[in-house]
């Protein structure tokens, strides 16, 4: 059993990399489990005897490089994850970097020498600071003493806890903001939380504990588990559940959630969600899409994961070309795209053209014995056709630049779709269409494809024709 961070940026590629690294090391990974979920299992296993009824638990996992927060409900041996979120760029290493930089500046001020380019000196300074940081968890002041830090110079400095807390005040505040976001995702109030479980070595910092206690109106934080061992303990419990070798774990169950949303790229490079973040797994969900261009016979299907609005800022999982579409007008052929995610992390994407019955599918799995089946790969500029920015529609080949858009109602009843079609038609077929009108028409097309660029469109700007 391997535990992993439940970060919003920790997706399919990272999970697969962990599985491959474990295989190279000769480790047989039966299942991957999010670290906060593993900590919740450890909490249940240790406190089940004294638990009565359903409890809402917030897992706060602040380690060296990341922060994970999950909100779970526990009833007997059932762990139901309601929401999980995190920050991959917030952890104990960030606190250390600021303090090491402060000590470098102090050394430069005292001895007029810059040690930031000396890797050996910086490493010695960081090690000494980490030891001092542990002392600051139990005392208000400590001293750093390093013999021959740089060019034979001995370095001595005194660090106080208030100075450390002042220097990292904004980072500590961001930790609380992640907790607020997790509560908002779960649609719960902080007053309904029964217990707050601290996991990870950085939760020993007194200021972090104080901010959490103040946020939850003085609630006593749970310190019954070793923060360095809770995740490992919970992963061992999950291993016992998966192998079914321990009868005492037979009535345990975990219902986890997706940490990233899954979707497709639609016209304009827009990330169109199909499976939202924090969706219970296993899950299955589908959406209706349609073609974008007139007489379009193929559609590029680009599958992404991430939380950004634009696909270029998300992770591309795979792509293929969906064929078998009849030569119909844009927006007419209905295309059903169905995503499914199972407990083992396998993602399956099935596309079907309703008018012809043609179906294709794409599988993503991190487990051995499963093959990633991909239809024809899509390459070349002519297939990156969902994004229309920069396309010269006067070009004869531009009619081949095709894509998909999210289809929530019949676009033939949308006046903006008609207007866009008329503009394209005149640009391509009207012999009296002079060059002095090119800029004007291009500007109108820009307004139709992205109303936010054209405030003058007024109420019509809500009718974005390519994502419904």
pLDDT tens for residues 116-126?
989 999 999 99
pLDDT digits (tens, 9 = 90+) for 286-303: 888 887 777 778 888 899
Query: What's the confidence (pLDDT) of residue 290?
Result: 82
Query: What's the confidence (pLDDT) of residue 445?
Result: 53
In the DSSP assignment, the letter for residue 35 is: H
pLDDT digits (tens, 9 = 90+) for 238-265: 888 877 776 677 778 888 888 888 999 9
Q: Which alpha helices (H) appear in 216-304, and where do they start and end?
A: 230-243
pLDDT digits (tens, 9 = 90+) for 189-216: 999 999 999 999 999 999 999 999 999 9
| Architecture (CATH level 2) of domain 262-462 | Sandwich (2.60)
pLDDT above 70 covers a percentage of the chain that reads 73
Helix (H) or strand (E) holding 107: helix 92-111
Helix orientation angle between 169-186 and 92-111, rounded to the nearest 10 degrees: 170
Query: What's the confidence (pLDDT) of residue 51?
Result: 74
HEC profile of 286-324:
EEEEEECCCCCCCEEEEEEECCCCEHHHCEEEEEEEECC
Torsion of CA 10, 12, 17, 20, to 10 degrees: 140
pLDDT at 378 over 50: no
Q: Following DSSP, what letter does each residue of 177-216 receive, concatenated?
A: HHHHHHHHHHT--GGG--EEEEESGGGG-HHHHHHHHHHT
pLDDT at 436 over 80: no
Between β-strands 195-199 and 153-160, what pairing exists: parallel, antiparallel or unpaired? Answer: unpaired
Q: What is the CATH number of domain 92-167?
A: 3.90.640.10
Calpha distance 70→43 (Å, rounded): 13
First to last CA, the chain: 42
Q: Following DSSP, what letter does each residue of 43-87 receive, concatenated?
A: HHHHHGGG--S-EEEEEEEE-SS-EEEEEEEEETTEEEEEEEEEE
Locate the DSSP E strands across 76-174: 78-87, 141-150, 153-160
CATH class name, domain 2-88+170-255: alpha beta
Residue 218 preceded by cis peptide, ω within 30: no
Q: Where in the chain is the domain with CATH 3.30.420.40?
A: 2-88+170-255
Q: Where in the chain is the domain with CATH 2.60.34.10?
A: 262-462
Which of 39-43, 171-175, 266-270 is the most confident on average? 171-175
Q: Supply the pTM of this predicted model.
A: 0.73
Calpha distance 212→218 (Å, rounded): 8
pLDDT above 90 covers a percentage of the chain that reads 36
Question: Pick the residue with more confidence: 14 or 83?
Answer: 83
Calpha distance 110→95 (Å, rounded): 23
pLDDT at 38 over 70: yes
Q: Where in the chain is the domain with CATH 3.90.640.10?
A: 92-167
Calpha distance 85→34 (Å, rounded): 11
Which of 155-164, 223-232, 249-258, 336-345 is the most confident on average? 155-164
pLDDT digits (tens, 9 = 90+) for 129-142: 999 999 999 999 99
Long-range own/partner contacts, residues 436-440 (CB < 8 A, 24 or more apart): 438/394
Burial class of residue 346 (count of CB atoms within 10 Å of its CB; 0-12, 13-18, 19+) = middle
Calpha distance 388→335 (Å, rounded): 21
Query: What's the confidence (pLDDT) of residue 414?
Result: 43
Query: How is residue 396 written in tokens?
Result: 């004869």
pLDDT at 159 over 90: yes
Pick the range with the lowest mean pLDDT from 65-79, 352-366, 438-452.
Answer: 438-452
Of 231, 241, 283, the closest CA to residue 258 belongs to 283
């Amino acid at each position: 059993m391997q535990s992993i961070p439940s970060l919003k940026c920790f997706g399919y590629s990272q999970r697969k990399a962990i599985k491959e690294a474990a295989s190279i090391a000769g480790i047989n990974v039966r299942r991957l489990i999010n670290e906060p979920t593993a900590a919740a299992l450890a909490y249940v296993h240790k406190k089940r005897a004294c638990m009565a009824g359903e409890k809402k638990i917030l897992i706060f996992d602040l380690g060296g490089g990341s922060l994970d927060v999950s909100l779970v409900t526990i009833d007997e041996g059932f762990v139901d994850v309601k929401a999980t979120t995190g920050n991959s760029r917030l952890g104990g290493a960030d606190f250390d970097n600021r303090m090491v930089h402060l000590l470098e500046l102090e050394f430069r001020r005292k001895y007029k020498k810059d040690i930031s380019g000396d890797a050996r000196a910086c490493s010695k300074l960081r090690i000494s600071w980490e030891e001092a940081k542990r002392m600051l968890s139990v005392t208000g002041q400590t001293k750093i003493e390093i013999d021959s830090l740089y060019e034979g110079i001995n370095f001595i400095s005194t660090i106080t806890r208030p100075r450390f807390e002042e220097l990292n005040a904004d980072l500590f505040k961001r930790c609380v903001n992640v907790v607020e976001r997790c509560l908002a995702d779960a649609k719960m109030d902080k007053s309904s939380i029964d217990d707050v479980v601290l996991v990870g070595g950085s939760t020993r910092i007194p200021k972090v504990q104080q901010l959490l206690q103040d946020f939850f109106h003085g609630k006593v934080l749970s310190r019954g588990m070793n923060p360095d061992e809770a995740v490992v303990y919970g992963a061992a419990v999950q291993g016992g559940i998966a192998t079914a070798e321990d009868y005492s774990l037979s009535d345990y169950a975990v219902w986890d959630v997706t940490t990233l949303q899954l979707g497709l790229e639609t016209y304009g490079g827009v990330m169109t969600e199909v499976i939202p973040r924090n969706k219970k797994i296993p899950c299955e969900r589908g959406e209706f899409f349609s073609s974008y261009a007139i007489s379009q016979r193929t559609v590029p299907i680009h599958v992404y994961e991430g939380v950004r609005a634009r696909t270029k800022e998300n992770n591309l999982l795979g792509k293929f070309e969906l064929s078998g579409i009849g030569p119909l007008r844009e927006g007419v052929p209905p295309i059903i795209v169905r995503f499914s995610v199972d407990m083992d992390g396998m993602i399956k994407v099935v596309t079907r053209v309703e008018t012809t019955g043609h179906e294709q599918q794409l599988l993503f799995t991190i487990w051995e014995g499963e093959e990633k089946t991909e239809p024809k790969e899509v390459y070349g500029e002519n297939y990156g056709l969902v994004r229309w920015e920069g396309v010269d529609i006067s070009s004869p080949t531009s009619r081949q630049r095709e894509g998909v858009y999210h289809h929530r109602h019949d676009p033939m009843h949308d006046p903006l779709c008609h207007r866009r079609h008329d503009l394209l038609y005149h640009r391509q077929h009207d012999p009296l269409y002079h060059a002095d009108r090119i800029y004007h028409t291009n500007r109108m097309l820009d307004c139709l494809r992205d109303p936010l660029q054209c405030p003058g469109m007024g109420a019509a700007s809500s009718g974005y024709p390519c994502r419904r």
